[in-house]
Amino acid sequence: MTDRQGLLIILSSPSGAGKSTLARALRTWDPTISFSISATTRAARPGEENGREYHFVSEPEFKRMVAERELLEHAHVFGNFYGSPKAPVLAAMQTGTDVLFDIDWQGAQQIRNSTQGLNTLTIFLLPPSISELRNRLLTRAQDDAGTVARRMEKSWDEISHWDGYDFVLINDDLEKTEAQLRSIIIASRLRRSQQTHLNDHVRKLQAEFEELS
């Protein structure tokens, strides 16, 4: 039995602010961190594999998952549905495994307000500037001009929810931000709510104290 409940680590930001890069860096730092693989109705991009980047499902299948409460959270983004399957996340938590989510503010809010809220850590990444955000989207060359424009339009909606998160970091230096994320996770693992062995330990201390009285 583990001495710690797994954390649900939610990392959010507008597109281009660095969350995917930092998510990979966190898992390199601690390979025991599991990544929540979302279900989506969007088509797979070249090089993507079902079950690796996403679980690619049809819209009727996604709606069935929602109706049967198989998702921790779900949202409609850029014309497609996205959601986090519940079963693998809960199984990981019970073994003391932290689960990392790359989701937006809607999903973060849903998980925060769920029965898993006590074990949730939310972190928002801000870009150093809007011009830098746009440059990052253009230079990564993953999207066409129309998609970049739509992502820029959505960026302020994402940023406007920054104050709903536990921690907010300005990602102006990747190495510094990564170090800050590690510190936040290390400290959060020591929350009283995460240390499942504490009640038993305190009862043991109480019994020892009563024996001495």
Domains of the chain and CATH, by start: 8-36+96-212 (3.40.50.300)
Helix and strand numbers (H, E) in the chain are 8, 9
Q: Which of 2, 1, 10 is nearest to 121 (CA)?
A: 10
In the block, residue with structure tokens 């302020």: 156
Mean pLDDT of each 10-residue bin along the chain, 213 residues long: 87 88 95 96 94 96 97 92 96 95 93 93 94 80 71 86 96 96 97 92 95 87
Asked whether the beta carbons of 123 and 167 are under 8 A apart, the reply is: yes
Task: Give residue 140's pLDDT.
Answer: 67
Task: Give residue 78's pLDDT.
Answer: 81
Tell me the DSSP string of 120-133: EEEEEEE-S-HHHH
Task: Give residue 135's pLDDT.
Answer: 83
Is the pTM of the predicted complex or chain greater than 0.85? yes
Task: Give residue 143's pLDDT.
Answer: 64
Burial per residue of 49-80, b for 16 or more beta-carbon CB atoms within 10 angstroms, e otherwise: eeeeebbbbeeeebeebeeeebbbbbbeeeee
Using CA atoms, how far apart are residues 99 and 92, in angstroms rounded to an integer? Answer: 7
In the block, residue with structure tokens 């920054």: 162
Strand, coil or helix: what is 18? coil
Asked whether the beta carbons of 166 and 124 are under 8 A apart, the reply is: no
